Amino acid sequence: MSNKLSPVEQLMAIKGEAESIAYDSERDRFNMPHAAETNISNALNANRIVIDGKDFAIATQFPLDQQIEAQLQLLIDNQTPVLVVLASINDIQNNQLIEYFKGSATYGAIQTQSKFLDYVDLDSIIEAKIFNLSVSGYKESLEIQVIHVHNWPDHRTVSTEVTTNLVSLIESKIEQSMTAFKKDQSPTISDLAKALPVMHCKAGVGRTGQTLAAMAMKQFPELSLASIIKDLRRSRNNKTIQTPQQMKTLMELDEMRSKSQAKTQKKQSRSWRSLFGKK
């Protein structure tokens, strides 16, 4: 019997090698210590995700009831262009989670108003709801685009098609928000430079990890999937990208990425040769 690890097992075995903050039931929804060096707030299980030395996103857990004000403060402090919520309706109902990104409410000193804008089909089954969230009462007011993928089950994966469409949707909403920020001229240049999307599912490791990895694969085409996984786990924790099924989807995306890059290089090579070919 062979002890050799399969490709999926090899990627699942990658360690982030980050010093972790110990579990605290007042802060953490699950017993998943998170990385100390990328910790954003002592009140939240939240990390700045760093890919290839560059700030890339913020990953959190779905906030506990008493953490919602701190979560909203996080959004304003980081001039968040897009909030991506990957917790399903079943997650929310079964765990009695507060949909802080919907409706109108007051959390401590912060007031929120949310307006539903649209549905976006990511394929024939998986769907995203789009909201505009207004947050006020702390430092300054902020309009945040919210993407809620409400029917991606916990511990499951979604297809490469859904993952690709979701990444494109997130990127388009980030671009819209950044254009609006610049037009309003309310944030400073330094604020805009640190504006990062904030993402969470329930624990902020499985569905969140798969989506962040897919985003990084697109934005950092020169990086290997293994390198991206290591950076994600160094930034968050070693459960980021939680299941073999989620990892398999990323491997399929990586294979598609490699084929696309090879095709582009071949096309460029042909174009180069045509400049010096015989007429």
Length of the chain: 279
What domain count does the chain have? 1
Sequence letter at residue 142: L
Q: Does 4 map to a domain?
A: no
Instruction: Say if 13 falls within a structural domain.
Output: no
Provide the residue range defining the domain that includes 44: 20-271
pLDDT tens digits for the chain (279 residues)? 457 999 999 999 999 999 999 999 999 999 999 999 999 999 999 999 999 999 999 999 999 999 999 999 999 999 999 999 999 999 999 999 999 999 999 999 999 999 999 999 999 999 999 999 999 999 989 999 999 999 999 999 999 999 999 999 999 999 999 888 777 755 554 455 568 999 999 999 999 999 999 999 999 999 999 999 999 999 999 999 999 999 999 999 999 999 988 877 777 666 655 655 554
- The neighbour count for residue 13, using CB atoms within 10 Å, is 10
Integer Cα distance of 45 and 257 in angstroms: 32
Q: Token pair of 166, please?
A: 């979701």
In a domain, 224, yes or no: yes
Find the CATH number of the domain harbouring 162. 3.90.190.10
| Given the residues 201, 216, 217, 232, the one annotated as active site | 201
Decide if 8 is inside a domain.
no
Query: Could you tell me the two tokens for 56?
Result: 């890339």
In a domain, 278, yes or no: no
The CB density around residue 178, as the number of other CB atoms within 10 Å, is 16
Task: For residue 156, indicate whether it is catalytic.
Answer: no
**pTM for this predicted structure:** 0.92
Report yes or no on 124 lying in a domain.
Answer: yes
The residues, ordered by sequence, that sit 6+ positions from 256 with a Cβ below 8 Å of its Cβ are 160
Residue with tokens 């702390």: 138
